């Protein structure tokens, strides 16, 4: 039995996305619920996969199967492929299981040739229209299928307009199109050495092959990498009878969302163009009209469309993104899919749909991508600030960002990798710009609407975007733009406000974000659903307060080293480090004690009633001293310029000490609790500062829960030694003050040996907190600073690693170790408190792992607390099977 | 029921070492086989442990039990403690379960006081003798028990001699001793504020307490640390009736070995002094006579002693170290224990005892400490070299060493830590010099015999030692010695030849060691017994040949990076690294290819018929470039001295590149197979060189087994990618040459993630070789270079780690990971070849682990191959229970 590679729309449904692709499955679904969908059929993703498996050759039987379906389709419409009287014309479109907008190729009007174009002219009684269709087909086919670059076709068209002395396409006559067509064909012949294929079946098989091939074109590969889509899904191919939106003023094309994709408002939101094909709307070349105008222009059609939107919104229980065409007063639906939306819209739609009774609270959790929340949680422009607004465009993706203006994607990527903040400024973006958009803080385009490429992609990535800002005149070669007399060159600072459309000169002051009511509602539901607690990493009272406001239930990591970096503290810290005797060291530490005590007092007070994990000093001491190479150069200079100066001597002495402290591999060196072992007086001072602060707060009536954390443990004996020291100091402070306070002593698990010996360590330690950055470094043997700059990209390219393991927790390796560690630890101490405090604690995929591994909490930066709350709820919903898995909800 | 803390000699036996200590258990054993042992009893190690558990207090009932035993002992001898007519005198000696020679304290003549000394004078009819005993007792008691420093007693004695105008102790009269005794007592009163205790029972309990306390004195702690003896064993205390070797010319004391401890020859070997106590023999102050002279002086005693030696040698089935005393023509055996011996002697004795039918071959394996073999495997002085021999002493510990002369232990330790080779030169050594001996290459003393402290300790450590070289006049304050008109100052190069006793000026040429017939025999037996194969690490044909000669069954690690360091290669390597284009890089690599091919050709040829594991390039590329800081200083200099020079520009450019390649944590950076991922052309060149060499050798009729090893793997996908490249190159070479050759591709396991994912990796990899240096670094998060200099000593001091994990494999952490890894790997590939190639592969304790973990082989440096062969056999004997565990065989 051979495989079935082709499905009629009537044979499929929305659940068959993996086989039929998203577009095809939805066309099938709509056909079966009775919507006006032009008839057609789908070539499955299996066919694509087999095509690749066989070295880019069509699998046996596929061409025959396609021929049969084309004949059946033609018969149904009373047409025939290549028929000189009644020719069948079709569109050929890719459709992957996961939406990849604009990433792959489409061919329209397929079936036209020198003969059938005349039939089309006769049947429409419009030779100019038919020839226009034909020349569009030839250029699209030439570009997409025969690899003749698009600009060659553009040049021919431009030359024709120049010859005719006209400026717009619609000013060209049928005769002009005949000449253009002849030139197009000659171009193809010259560029490819092949003639343009007149035979429709040949056109079709070539187009299908081109769609298959497009699965592995460069931009598709990049898109999949950015969006973490597996390469082995393959694409389906949709073949559908053509309908024409460009048959006059009772025709048109448009796209619409069943709800507002920017705000989530429950109202159809869309754009259309009369006398245009769909490509014209999304290309952003003509600025389309708002969908409301259709009510005036074609009221019956508008009413019908409204009803269909309502139906699809309820049928899919999700906001839909719908493409439609009106052919001579008749409405056709060409596509529906779950609409991309801003985080703000996603939240509002999810909460609204719960309130409308369409979905459950658990389902609502899955309707918002946690990562997307990120930009709702970042800054907006201070409304009270005086701004130099130089232009206003469309508010295409909300949030504000500032950066230096950059005029091409490559430069944006390059500067982005150097850590620079950039705003990508383009006339319009294309899929070739994806890497630049990914690297930019924000996007500004001079052309295109809310559904233009730039707008869609920016919303997907959660980046601020201002679109269609036509006042801005961009000169990409000169790397500058001018607007209202202002010139902005590459490197100048600008800001975009994607919520209002404003473009601003300089870097305006920004404000902290606030959470909308719906956002709060969603997070409250998330808190009810999730079982994983969320804490924040905060090193100072301000961050602690922010964390609390964002819903953190404690501090999971309070680093104490930043406290030594202040200008009033660093000199004392250096004094301590450079002390030659234990006495001198103690003296320096005594000066630091009251400062540390003040830090802890404020943080513990801010987190009153909640636990605060305080990590004792962790980084190597040389981090507090000047750089050796710089000092050496300074010394070399001084030897020439001031060989007798006492400064030279001092610097030489300092250099000697810095050298003595310098390390080959500081990450694996004298740091963490190793400092506590060799310099117990430092940990003693810190413990005393914590307990003094706790005692003061208790005496003032506060309830505090300090959790003292010992970093970089490798052995239970090492832990006990330091725990004994801490317990002794606690007892001393309690004895001296007469005040009792609660505290626990636990450890970070950040080295493989600690994870391997978790049972022994858990006998002593009251909590474990995974420091997954270091644990990743040691488990993989990757120094993060070195790996990310030097070889990580290759590991991702070759797919040796699915993700950067510093961004997304490496479940296979590090995760295995963590799972073993928790099991072993809980086996000896069933109530062992377990959390994570690496950056992974704020990353949704990693949070899901933490839920599965049975951790008690994740801890992340304050701004990511809401993301973590939602991700923790999602993890619960998915892992505990609280809703049926619902394809395409995101 | 209270514990029994005290055992009469009649109640014990040699198997009770843990409870009675080694000395006590053997005294009991000898008593019970009827040897002439002065009667006595033993206080158990349990009593010592309970003493410490109770905060240095005697456990309940102990004192009563001692009193009862003293009374019984006295009764047996018809004496009484403190009896003015017939006083009981005893010795009090420590005796730990493991021999710690000279480490703890001894008190003789206990029971003497102002009254009993008179009784002793009467009973011996020798007042001077009695008073001499008394003054010895007071000074020994004052020093050991009452902590009055020994030199104070020495000063009093010296002053008395000066007053009398005499130079030797024996010239002092009874009256002198009375005066000395009065001064000693006054000294004790002045120094301690307590009077010397006259009451014998008080003397006894104080002495016992002093022995208990000596378990934790500084030198005992150091000794245990060096010899890896647990702290919690505790010491027993032996209380034994005194016999006197200093009662005239028919009295004497001596020590002897049942076989020669230097060579192993089967002949009594020992020394004695007439009219002397045992302390006089071992202290090295009087030079003793060879034991053979006793046959002339006291032939009957000598005959009796010979018989006892023979009996003990057979009874213990091991060479014995025996202490004896002759009291007025009557022989007493005071101690027997397994004798310390040189490696050479250990081997000969073990082989001889097998041939004598005393022990099995398996037992023989346990009679030689593998580590001890080390110095047999190092160099000796070229016998044909012209040497400037400046003196000759006793050949106290075989082997030769050269280094700079150093005159105190602290300096020796300091310079040793700086990597300098030193010869420690002392008049005599004491236990306080242990750290200096440990740090030195060899030892030279001007005083003391073959059983002096220096000789015993040096033999134990396997260090060359020349003793009793009296011609050498040492001035420790001036840090120099003179001998035969030659002056040697600290820092001058000298050599000692511990096999001949020669002291040589300068650093003479040395020769490679050869294995004795017995050594070969022992290793052949080891090869029959062991199941763990032994390979060697060798990077060049010379080392490979050496490895083969030492019995290696293959190369377990051939590092390819050293091959790029030669002066003809480094410039090309740098050219490759600095190449700006892939073409330039290929060009440089093409120059390296024939050189690499030549390397592999020679090594594979040398190892014909045996496997050779070749590791592809591993270290980070910046290791082949100059140091950044030095370059920066050079640039800073040039800016002043030659600001216009092209050199400056070049250096600046080089510095830029060095900086670009420099890393924060090179150990975790861009190295190992990561180079193969980013620079596949390098690995391709290396694979081609290997396979070209293999093809040539096969065509010449050789059988070769190259094993291509990919370093630093973290994932099966990474491994496959590189394995595919290697397989492709192999196929290309086979196709080009038409020659088939065998090869395998495997990996080092040196990162925790690889160990954790061993099942997946073993599906692809044909062998695993544990790189335990890196695996230790990452599992513990210890950078070896940093840890050993900065904090390791604290981890050992606090006993957080039992051993330096880079010297002895960390079984608890790293070992756990290895065990998991092997199990997982073998589960998917049952025949998976598994070995170890870190330094641990040559360390006996680690080798035992490798045997237990089921590895196929260990690989170590060529010189350690014999050690590994023996250690592997020991591991088999012990772990597979091939002999009963036999305490004290080592």
Question: Which pLDDT tens digit goes with each residue over B289-300?
Answer: 999 999 999 999
Contact list, A750 vs chain B (CB under 8 Å): 781
Q: How far is CA B12 from CA B43, B106, B461, in A?
A: 12, 21, 32
Task: Identify any residues that bridge with A256 across adjacent strands, giving them in sequence order.
Answer: A270, A322
Q: Whole-model pTM?
A: 0.79
Residue A811 is given by DSSP the state: I
Q: Evaluate if residue A220 carries a pLDDT over 90.
A: no
Beta-strand pair B857-860/B533-537: parallel
In sequence order, the β-bridge partners of residue A746 are A709
Q: Is B657 on the interface with A (CB under 8 A)?
A: no
How close, in Å, is residue B280 to chain A by CA atoms?
44
User: Residue B798: pLDDT band by 50, 70, 90 thresholds?
Assistant: confident
pLDDT at residue number A445: 93
Beta carbons of A632 and B637 less than 8 Å apart = no
Residue bearing tokens 């402070």: A733
**Residue pair B764/B723 in contact by the 8 Å Cβ criterion:** yes
Rounded CA-CA distance B406/B415 in Å is 9
> What would the two tokens of residue A60 be?
């046996």
Element (H, E) at A135: helix A127-144
Per-residue confidence band for A188, with pLDDT thresholds at 50, 70 and 90:
very high
Mutant choice from A666, A785, A786 vs B, greatest count of B C-beta within 10 A: A786
- Say yes or no to pLDDT of B70 above 70: yes
Are A665 and B781 within 8 A, CB to CB? no
Exposure string over B654-688, b if 16+ CB within 10 A, otherwise e: bbebbeebbbebbbbbbbbbbbbbebebbbbbbbb
Q: Average pLDDT of A555-576?
A: 85
Confidence of residue A50 (pLDDT cuts 50, 70, 90): very high
Q: What pLDDT shows up at residue A718? A: 97
DSSP letter string over A502-545?
Answer: EEEES---EE-----HHHHHHHHHHHHH--SEEEEE-SSHHHHH
Using a CB–CB cutoff of 8 Å, tell me whether B781 touches chain A.
Answer: yes
With an 8 Å Cβ cutoff, are B791 and A670 in contact? yes
Judge whether residue B282 has pLDDT over 80: no
Give the model confidence (pLDDT) of A292-339 as tens digits.
999 999 999 999 999 999 999 999 999 999 999 999 999 999 999 999
Question: Among partner residues B678, B795, B817, which is closest to A756 by beta-carbon distance?
Answer: B817
| pLDDT at site B569 | 83
Strands B269-274 and B289-290: antiparallel
Q: How much is the pLDDT for B462?
A: 65
Q: Which residues of A fall within a CB distance of 8 Å from B750?
A: 781
For residue B17 the two structure tokens come to 């070492």
Sign of the alpha-carbon dihedral angle for A404, A406, A412, A414: negative
Q: From the CB of residue B85, how many other CB atoms can be counted at a distance below 10 Å? A: 12
Instruction: For residue A21, report the phi and psi dihedrals to the nearest 5 degrees.
Output: 80, 160
Nearest to B71 by CA among B137, B8, B154: B8
Average pLDDT of the segment spanning A78-96: 93
Asked whether residue A713 carries a pLDDT value surpassing 70, the answer given is yes
Question: Average of pLDDT values for A586-613?
Answer: 95
The set of residues, in sequence order, having a beta carbon less than 8 Å from that of B488 and lying 6+ positions away, is B390, B405, B425, B480, B481, B482, B494, B505
Query: pLDDT band for position B447 (50/70/90)?
Result: confident
Contacts B753 to A, Cβ<8 Å: 779-781, 810, 813-814
Backbone angles phi, psi at A852, to 5 degrees: -60, -35
Question: Where does the pLDDT of residue B886 fall: very low under 50, low under 70, confident under 90, or very high at 90 and above?
Answer: low
Q: Read off the pLDDT band of A117 (50, 70, 90).
A: very high
Count CA atoms closer than 13 A to B204's CA, side-chain side.
Answer: 26
Nearest to A592 by CA among A693, A686, A672, A505: A686
pLDDT exceeds 80 at position A886: no
Give me the percent of chain A exceeding a pLDDT of 90: 69
DSSP codes of every residue in A471-509: T-EEETTTTEEEETTEEEETT-EEEEETTTTEEEES---
pLDDT value at B627 more than 80: no
Give the helix/strand (H/E) hosting A825: helix A816-828
Q: Which residue from B579, B581, B774, B663 is spatially nearest to A788, judged by alpha carbons?
A: B663
Model confidence at A431, pLDDT cuts 50, 70, 90, reads low
For residue B888, is pLDDT > 50?
no
**At A577, is the pLDDT very low, low, confident or very high (cuts 50, 70, 90)?**
confident
> Which chain B residues are Cβ-neighbours of A780 within 8 angstroms?
714, 751, 753
With CA atoms as reference, the chain B residue closest to A655 would be: B629
Per-residue pLDDT of B359-397, as tens digits, reads 999 999 999 999 888 768 866 888 788 899 999 998 888
Q: In this complex, is the C-beta atom of A657 within 8 Å of any C-beta atom belonging to chain B?
A: no
Beta strand spans in A393-436 (E): 394-397, 400-406, 422-426
- Specify whether B837 is catalytic: yes
A870-884, B655-669, B861-875: least confident range: B655-669
Mean pLDDT for chain B?
91
Distance of CA A679 to the CA centre of its chain: 44
Q: How many Cβ contacts (< 8 angstroms) between chains A and B?
A: 202
Tell me the C-alpha to C-alpha distance, in Å, between residue A830 and each of A120, A744, A818.
Answer: 78, 16, 16
Burial class (CB in 10 A: 0-12, 13-18, 19+), B732: middle
Is A818 at the interface with chain B, CB within 8 A?
Answer: no
Q: What percent of chain A has pLDDT over 70?
A: 97
Q: Name the catalytic one among B69, B152, B375, B453.
A: B453
Whether the CB of B712 is below 8 Å from some CB of chain A: the reply is yes
B453 labelled catalytic: yes
Our CA-based measurement puts residue A814 at a distance from the nearest CA of chain B, in whole angstroms, of: 7
pLDDT digits (tens, 9 = 90+) for A357-402: 999 999 999 999 998 887 687 668 887 888 999 999 988 887 899 9
pLDDT, tens digit, 9 for 90 and up, residues B152-173: 999 999 999 999 999 888 889 9
Query: Does A459 have pLDDT greater than 90?
Result: no
Contact B141, B107 (CB under 8 A): yes
Residue A869 CA to residue A867 CA, distance in Å, equals 5
The yes-or-no verdict on residue B41 having pLDDT over 50 is: yes
Q: What is the pLDDT of residue B284?
A: 63
Torsion of CA B225, B230, B231, B235, to 10 degrees: -110
Smallest Cβ distance to A668: which of B632, B714, B786? B786
Partners of A799 in the β-ladder: none
Identify the three-state secondary structure at position A297.
helix
């Amino acid at each position: 039995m051979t495989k079935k590679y082709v499905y009629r729309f009537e044979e499929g449904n929305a659940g068959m996305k993996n086989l039929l692709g998203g577009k095809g499955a939805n066309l099938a679904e709509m056909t079966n619920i009775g919507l006006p969908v032009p008839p057609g059929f789908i070539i499955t993703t299996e066919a694509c996969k087999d095509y690749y498996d066989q070295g880019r050759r069509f699998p046996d039987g596929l061409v025959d199967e396609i021929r049969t379906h084309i004949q059946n389709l033609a018969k149904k419409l009373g047409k025939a492929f290549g028929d000189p009287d009644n020719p069948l014309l079709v569109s050929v479109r890719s459709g992957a299981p996961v939406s990849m907008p604009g990433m792959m190729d489409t061919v329209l009007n397929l079936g036209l040739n020198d003969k059938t174009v005349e039939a089309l002219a006769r049947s429409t009684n419009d030779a100019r229209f038919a020839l226009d269709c034909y020349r569009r087909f030839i250029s699209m086919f030439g570009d997409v299928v025969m690899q003749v670059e698009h600009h060659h076709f553009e040049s021919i068209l431009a030359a024709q307009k120049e010859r005719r002395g006209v400026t717009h396409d619609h000013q060209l006559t049928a005769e002009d199109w005949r000449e253009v067509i002849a030139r197009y064909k000659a171009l193809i012949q010259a560029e490819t050495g092949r003639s343009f294929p007149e035979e429709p079946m040949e056109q079709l098989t070539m187009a299908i092959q081109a769609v298959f091939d497009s699965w592995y074109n460069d931009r598709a590969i990049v898109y999949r990498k950015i969006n973490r889509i597996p390469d082995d899904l393959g694409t389906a191919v949709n073949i559908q009878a053509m309908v024409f939106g460009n048959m006059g003023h009772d025709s048109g094309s448009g796209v619409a969302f069943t709800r507002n994709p920017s705000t989530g408002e429950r109202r159809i939101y869309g754009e259309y163009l009369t006398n245009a094909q769909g490509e014209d709307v999304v290309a952003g070349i003509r600025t389309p009209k708002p969908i409301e105008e259709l009510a005036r222009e074609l009221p019956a059609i508008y009413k019908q469309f409204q009803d269909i939107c309502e139906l699809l919104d309820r049928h899919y229980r999700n906001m839909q993104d719908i493409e439609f065409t009106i052919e001579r007063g008749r409405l056709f639906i060409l596509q529906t899919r779950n609409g991309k939306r801003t985080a703000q819209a996603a939240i509002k739609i999810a909460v609204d749909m719960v309130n409308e009774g369409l979905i459950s609270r658990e389902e609502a959790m899955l309707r918002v991508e946690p990562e997307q929340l990120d930009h709702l949680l970042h800054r907006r422009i201070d409304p009270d600030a005086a701004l130099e607004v130089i232009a206003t465009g469309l508010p295409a993706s909300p949030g504000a960002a500032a950066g230096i203006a950059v005029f091409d994607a490559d430069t944006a990527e390059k500067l982005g990798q150097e850590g620079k903040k950039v705003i990508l400024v383009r006339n319009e973006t294309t899929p070739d710009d994806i890497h630049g958009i990914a690297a930019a803080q924000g996007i500004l385009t001079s052309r295109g609407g809310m559904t233009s490429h730039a707008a869609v992609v920016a919303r997907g990535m959660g980046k601020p975007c201002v679109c269609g800002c036509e006042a801005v005149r961009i000169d990409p070669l000169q790397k500058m733009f001018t607007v209202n007399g202002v010139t902005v060159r590459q490197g100048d600072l600008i800001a975009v406000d994607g919520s209002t459309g404003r473009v601003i000169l300089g870097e305006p002051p920004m404000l902290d974000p606030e959470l909308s009511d719906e956002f709060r509602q969603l997070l409250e539901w998330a808190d009810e659903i999730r079982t994983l607690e969320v804490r924040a990493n905060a090193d100072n009272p301000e961050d602690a307060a922010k964390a609390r406001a964002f819903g953190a239930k404690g501090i999971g990591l309070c680093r104490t080293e930043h406290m030594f970096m202040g200008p009033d503290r660093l000199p004392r810290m250096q004094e301590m480090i450079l002390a030659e005797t234990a006495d001198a060291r103690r003296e320096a530490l005594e000066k630091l004690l009251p400062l540390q005590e003040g830090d802890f007092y404020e943080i513990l007070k801010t987190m009153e009633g909640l636990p605060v994990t305080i990590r004792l000093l962790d980084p190597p001491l040389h981090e507090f001293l000047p750089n050796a190479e710089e000092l050496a150069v300074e010394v070399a200079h001084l030897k020439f310029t001031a060989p007798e100066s006492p400064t030279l001597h001092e610097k030489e002495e300092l250099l000697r000490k810095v050298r003595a402290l310098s390390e080959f591999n500081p990450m694996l060196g004298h740091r963490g609790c190793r400092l506590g072992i060799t310099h117990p007086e430092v940990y003693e001072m810190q413990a005393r500062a914590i307990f003094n602060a706790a005692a003061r707060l208790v005496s003032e009536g506060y309830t505090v829960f300090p959790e003292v954390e010992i970093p970089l443990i490798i052995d239970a004996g090492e832990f006990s030694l330091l725990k004994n020291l801490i317990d002794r100091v606690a007892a001393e402070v309690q004895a001296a003050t007469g005040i009792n306070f609660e505290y626990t002593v636990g450890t970070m698990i950040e080295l493989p040996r600690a994870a391997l010996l978790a049972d022994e360590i858990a006998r002593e330690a009251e909590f474990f907190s995974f420091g997954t950055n270091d644990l990743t470094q040691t488990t993989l043997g990757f120094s993060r600073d070195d790996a990310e700059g030097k070889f990580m990209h290759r590991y991702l390219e070759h797919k040796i690693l699915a993700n950067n393991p510093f961004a997304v927790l490496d479940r296979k390796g590090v995760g295995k170790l963590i799972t073993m560690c928790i099991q072993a630890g809980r086996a000896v101490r069933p109530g062992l408190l377990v959390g994570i405090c690496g950056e992974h604690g704020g990353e949704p995929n990693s949070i899901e792992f933490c839920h599965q591994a049975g951790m008690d909490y994740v801890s992340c930066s304050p701004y990511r607390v809401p993301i973590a709350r939602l991700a923790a709820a999602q993890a619960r919903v998915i892992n505990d099977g609280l809703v049926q898995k619902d394809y395409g909800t995101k």
